[in-house]
Amino acid sequence: MANDIAIVGYAQSPSWRQSELTEPQFLFPVISEAIERAGVERREIGFTCAGSCDYLSGQTFAFVMNLEAVGAWPPITESHVEMDGAWALYEAWVRLQHGDIDTALVFGSGKSSPGVPAEVYPHQMDPYTLTPLGADPVSLAALQARAMLDAGKITEREMAEIAARSRKSAIGNPYAQVTGDDDPDALLKEPYVTAPLRRHDLPPISDGACAVILATADKAKSLSKRPVWIRGIDHRIDIHQPGMRDLTESPSTRLAGKKAGVGDAKVDIAELSATFSYQEKLLCEELGLGDDVEINPSGGPLAANPVMAVGLARFAEAARQIAEHGKGRAVAHATSGQCLQQNLVAVLEGD
């Protein structure tokens, strides 16, 4: 049985199409705000874990520079994952299980604007069979969307409705990049970017950051009037080769959701890393989330997609719904790899 760990502070930067600030520069106020909101002393934090991607930044050891925003002198205990910040949160959650420290700082950050994502990502794929094909996220997502359409699991109209609802939900979100009150019928008249995906089915290209403070049970109770408890968390992986999977299913999401305890009680809201519109329906199905569950009240990744922070931002947004909007039980989901290859699912609850 795992020890209870709570989210006691969170902060985000706006999501920008192109920030003129460096990654450490825009991380700096985000980390400071999360620490301030948690009410912890920066020097008291027992463990720091970051998620970022040097390929995205185009700079070796870019993750080391990001520590300048943390305050790493005198030396601190820290770690880094070449994954979304949600996996940094998972590592910190595991670290806090030891019980010898009581707080952790987690952050994720990325600048997608300097590079060309469609050229960068194929280099993270299988180097023999997928990289030479230039297998980029949009093309692979289009294959998955086509498989879903062919299987009758979604329609293009449903995809447009998901995009329109996401943009509308994002209107009240100060960190969102794409907002608006769009008519799904009008969206469907737009041309394909990569068939069957239209512009609204794709996430924006974003720069941005997110930070979260975790605390063990006693510490969380002393710090916060409304700690947000991580009741369950699990990470599962499907096979890397998209050709060896049934793309209309996500067994890793299903299993992670089951292990995290999603179905054990009623879910009020879910913040899902549905980076492409159609993925929302697939994720809801695998997690057993029905029409009574509010999906991505923040607007989700279709409204703001700071790669390497977008999954951690799902935790921050889900925690916000509990801490600030009185919701009782929330699901936070992060994904990594192509076509929802890796999935991390957590259940968050208020007291």
Partner 1 sequence: MTDAKQPDAKQPDAKQLAAKQEEAVDPSAPVTGMDYFMKLEYHELLCPVVREFADALMDKRLIGHKCPKCGLIYSPPRGYCPICTVQTTKADEIEIQTHGIVTNYTVVTPVQYYGQEETEPFAKVSLQLDGGGTLSLQDLPGVPVEQVHPGMRVEIVWAPDDERHVDDVTNRSWGSAEGAIRGWKPTGEADADPSEYSDKTF
Binding site for partner 1 (CB under 8 A): 18-22, 24-25, 28-29, 32, 42, 55, 57-59, 67-73, 111, 113-116, 119-120, 123, 127-128, 131-132
Q: How far is the CB of 213 from partner 1 (least distance, A)?
A: 15
Based on CB atoms, which residue is closest to partner 1, 4 or 68?
Answer: 68
Four-residue CA torsion sign, 52, 58, 60, 64: negative
Based on CB atoms, which residue is closest to partner 1, 119 or 218?
Answer: 119
Based on CB atoms, which residue is closest to partner 1, 20 or 181?
Answer: 20
Integer-rounded Cα radius of gyration of the chain:
19
Q: How far is the CB of 114 from partner 1 (least distance, A)?
A: 4
Q: How far is the CB of 68 from partner 1 (least distance, A)?
A: 4
214 is written with which tokens?
A: 């975790």
Q: Of 319, 101, 103, 298, whose CA–CA distance to 231 is shortest?
A: 319
| Cα–Cα distance, 341 to 137 (Å, whole number) | 12
Q: How far is the CB of 321 from partner 1 (least distance, A)?
A: 30
Based on CB atoms, which residue is closest to partner 1, 60 or 99?
Answer: 60
Per-residue exposure over 253-278, b if at least 16 CB sit within 10 Å of its own CB, e if not:
bbbbbbebbbeeeebbbbbbbbbbbb
| Cα–Cα distance, 137 to 263 (Å, whole number) | 30
Q: Of 109, 98, 90, 108, whose CA–CA distance to 46 is shortest?
A: 98
| Cα–Cα distance, 298 to 202 (Å, whole number) | 16
Q: How far is the CB of 124 from partner 1 (least distance, A)?
A: 12
Based on CB atoms, which residue is closest to partner 1, 14 or 29?
Answer: 29
Four-residue CA torsion sign, 252, 255, 259, 263: positive
Q: How far is the CB of 42 from partner 1 (least distance, A)?
A: 7
| Cα–Cα distance, 13 to 27 (Å, whole number) | 8
Q: How far is the CB of 210 from partner 1 (least distance, A)?
A: 18
Q: Report the amino acid identity of residue 82.
A: E
Based on CB atoms, which residue is closest to partner 1, 67 or 101?
Answer: 67
Based on CB atoms, which residue is closest to partner 1, 32 or 179?
Answer: 32
| Cα–Cα distance, 66 to 115 (Å, whole number) | 18
